[in-house]
Structure 1
Amino acid sequence: MKKTFLLVLIILTVKNLIAKDVEFKPHLWSINDPEGGLITTYMGRKSLFLYQGFAFLKGLLLTDGTIEVDFNAHGNRGFAGIVFRSKNKESHELVYLRCHLSNKPNAIQYAPRFNGVMGWQLYSNKGHIANTEIPHNRWIHLKLEVKGKKAFFYVNDSSEPDLIITDLKQKVSEGEIGLWALNGPGHFSNFSYTKTDPEPVEVELNQIKPINPNFIDRWKLSNVFKEGDLNIDQIDNDFLKKLDWVDVVTDQNGMLDISKYRKKITQIHSSPVKNGWDDVIALSTITSNKKRTINLSFGYSDKIKIVVNGKLMFQGNNSFRSKSPRFLGIVGVNNETLTIPLVKGENQILFVVTEQFGGWGFITKFEK
């Protein structure tokens, strides 16, 4: 009996580890791409052309495993990649290629999407971006291995991962897998996947302490306003008491991804530069044992106003192309430094953070 059970277990395990090829046929895929989404023959292969949208494999939920596909980039400025652990097209994990940035430091990008906002501006450091060669008008192989909170991305049959992600931002759970494109990058072919048993996850992200004790990691977030509906001069304690607050925590690197907790109320377009602008208030407290000044280092996306104990101390615009045609708006803790006065006791730190697209969030660190 034990031998029979063991044999069945081995057969099931081996069956699970065999890659399953999936053809591009309309009844197998849910395709949402008004300008593309064509199943056609390209360079001798049956393939799927995506211009600006998604293609999700129907009837499959995957937590851990391997996703593989061949891709052919057309050479224009565009983006294409693999979606996994998707709850819907508004919340999932995503690894993609910047097809026009071959051999550049950010040719590969990891960017989780929460509530419709893909936060690439928040996640553009080591472990989120990588260099790789992206040939044009040629089939290349992409492979993504997903294991618990980690993912490994290979380009063009490389023996070592081109990008290793050690801290996936979505909660570890099963979700749909699929493909994504923006600005008409090219064709996909030879899609396959393998399911593996989920890796055990000891703690979720909000249970992990920040790696630097000077990060301000505990905040409250208000409900969302359309930009222009929130008058900074009218924000007082009476106004704040009327808002709908949620307690939030940064990740271990000090980054607060607002979209994880709050959803934009203006329309999100398939072309992100057409998005509206939304505001949220972030509130925290610094306790001081005496009257003094501290230096606050911070980065933000897209715009911010900083109010300390009721006084406006800073306002800035870090949005995409706001400072030059090539300005990306990448968020880092040393983007800005501000000297702020503290009173003895509790000090109210208030941010008004405004988002259009690319990442709604901030990171803060204080130095004594």
Structure 2
Amino acid sequence: MKKFGVTILLSTLSIIYSDAQTINYDGKEFELSNVIASTTFLNGEKVLKIERDLTKVPFDINHLEKTVDEPTFLKLKNVEFENGIIEIKVLSQLQDPLPFKFSKGFIGLAFRVNKDNSAYQSIYLRPKAGRSENQLERNHTVQYYAYPNYKFAKLRKEEYKGQYETYANIDLNEWITIKIEVKDKKAILYLNGQKHPSFIVNEMLGDFNGSGIGLWVDVGTIGYFKELKIIKTK
């Protein structure tokens, strides 16, 4: 009986630890939210590697809208960000085998994340779409969404006039510099050091009163991140 009791206790402790799991990288501490994450070396550089945890957030192709654009990110701890600039380099690869054959290497940032991850803003990339031979697919390379009520499928409806997606000349297996400038209800995306914006969200939707930042990926993606920089403005 004693042996059985110890087994149960250790199992419980393991569950508690996994729910509050953190990872340290480049002097920063991150908390896992529905992802599998580690530090690794890519081409001799130490980077963060992040994949969506399908055991915590199952994917269902028959209920696509309900099971994508979810809080699947590595959340930066002890940082409050409202307005300013977030910059990071990302590289996206596809998992093999692919759990979703239409995966485009979904990778990006979540910001204004609230404390329990139940609301946030996000801009992410579909790098595989950037070099597609299909122009309609290319037009979906960059995506904005607001969790939980304004996911990509809703924002792709005619009433939103395509203003929350756009094209960008990017691809898988290459480092892409993402810089997002956030000011009140507006978010501006710059890619790869370009002088002019690649994408502008003139008015963010939903609840944008949080202050967290997350390194975001979605189904079928192996995401690599490095060189996170944050500049706050009042």
Q: TM-score, normalised by structure 2?
A: 0.67
Aligned-pair CA distance for 1:187:
0.4
SS in 2 for 1:89: coil
- The answer on 1:126 being equivalent to 2:162 is yes
- The answer on 1:196 being equivalent to 2:233 is yes
Q: State the partner residue of 1:96.
A: 124
For the Cα contact (< 8 Å) 1:127–1:163, is it kept in 2?
no
RMSD across aligned C-alpha pairs, in angstroms?
2.0
Q: TM-score, normalised by structure 1?
A: 0.44
- The answer on 1:81 being equivalent to 2:108 is yes
User: Equivalents in 1 of 2:129, 2:43: separation in Å?
Assistant: 23
Deviation per residue, 1:98-127 (Å, 9 max, x gap): 12211510100001002xx55111223433
Residue 89 of structure 2 aligns with an amino acid whose one-letter code is: D
User: Equivalents in 2 of 1:109, 1:72: separation in Å?
Assistant: 16
Q: State the partner residue of 2:183.
A: 147
Check 1:89–1:26 CA distance in 2 against 1; reply closer, same or farther (3 A cut). farther
For the Cα contact (< 8 Å) 2:51–2:221, is it kept in 1?
yes
- The answer on 1:185 being equivalent to 2:185 is no
Deviation per residue, 1:256-277 (Å, 9 max, x gap): xxxxxxxxxxxxxxxxxxxxxx
Aligned-pair CA distance for 1:60:
1.1
Check 1:27–1:165 CA distance in 2 against 1; reply closer, same or farther (3 A cut). closer
Deviation per residue, 1:197-255 (Å, 9 max, x gap): 1xxxxxxxxxxxxxxxxxxxxxxxxxxxxxxxxxxxxxxxxxxxxxxxxxxxxxxxxxx
SS in 2 for 1:101: helix
For the Cα contact (< 8 Å) 1:99–1:185, is it kept in 2?
no
Deviation per residue, 1:36-73 (Å, 9 max, x gap): 31111112222111111311110111111110100112
Deviation per residue, 1:128-185 (Å, 9 max, x gap): 1010022222212110000111100112222111110011013442410111101223
Higher relative contact order (CA 8 A, sep 6+): 2
Residue 146 of structure 1 aligns with an amino acid whose one-letter code is: V
User: Equivalents in 2 of 1:155, 1:185: separation in Å?
Assistant: 20
User: Equivalents in 2 of 1:172, 1:186: separation in Å?
Assistant: 25
For the Cα contact (< 8 Å) 1:65–1:147, is it kept in 2?
yes
Check 1:61–1:123 CA distance in 2 against 1; reply closer, same or farther (3 A cut). same
Aligned-pair CA distance for 1:25:
5.3
User: Equivalents in 2 of 1:58, 1:178: separation in Å?
Assistant: 9
- The answer on 1:173 being equivalent to 2:209 is yes
SS in 2 for 1:159: coil
User: Equivalents in 1 of 2:210, 2:34: separation in Å?
Assistant: 24
For the Cα contact (< 8 Å) 2:129–2:171, is it kept in 1?
no
How many corresponding residue pairs? Answer: 172
1:59 pairs with 78, 81, 98, which one?
A: 78
User: Equivalents in 1 of 2:28, 2:87: separation in Å?
Assistant: 20
Deviation per residue, 1:288-320 (Å, 9 max, x gap): xxxxxxxxxxxxxxxxxxxxxxxxxxxxxxxxx
Residue 188 of structure 1 aligns with an amino acid whose one-letter code is: F
SS in 2 for 1:112: strand
User: Equivalents in 1 of 2:166, 2:212: separation in Å?
Assistant: 25
Q: State the partner residue of 1:158.
A: 194
For the Cα contact (< 8 Å) 1:38–1:50, is it kept in 2?
yes
Residue 63 of structure 1 aligns with an amino acid whose one-letter code is: E
Bigger radius of gyration, 1 or 2?
A: 1
For the Cα contact (< 8 Å) 1:75–1:99, is it kept in 2?
no
Within 5 Å, give how 1:1-368 maps onto structure 2: 24=25, 28-34=29-35, 36-52=36-52, 53-75=72-94, 77=103, 78-87=105-114, 88-103=116-131, 104-114=138-148, 119-124=151-156, 125-182=161-218, 183-197=220-234
Aligned-pair CA distance for 1:75:
4.9
SS in 1 for 2:113: strand
Deviation per residue, 1:6-27 (Å, 9 max, x gap): xxxxxxxxxxxxxxxxx72596
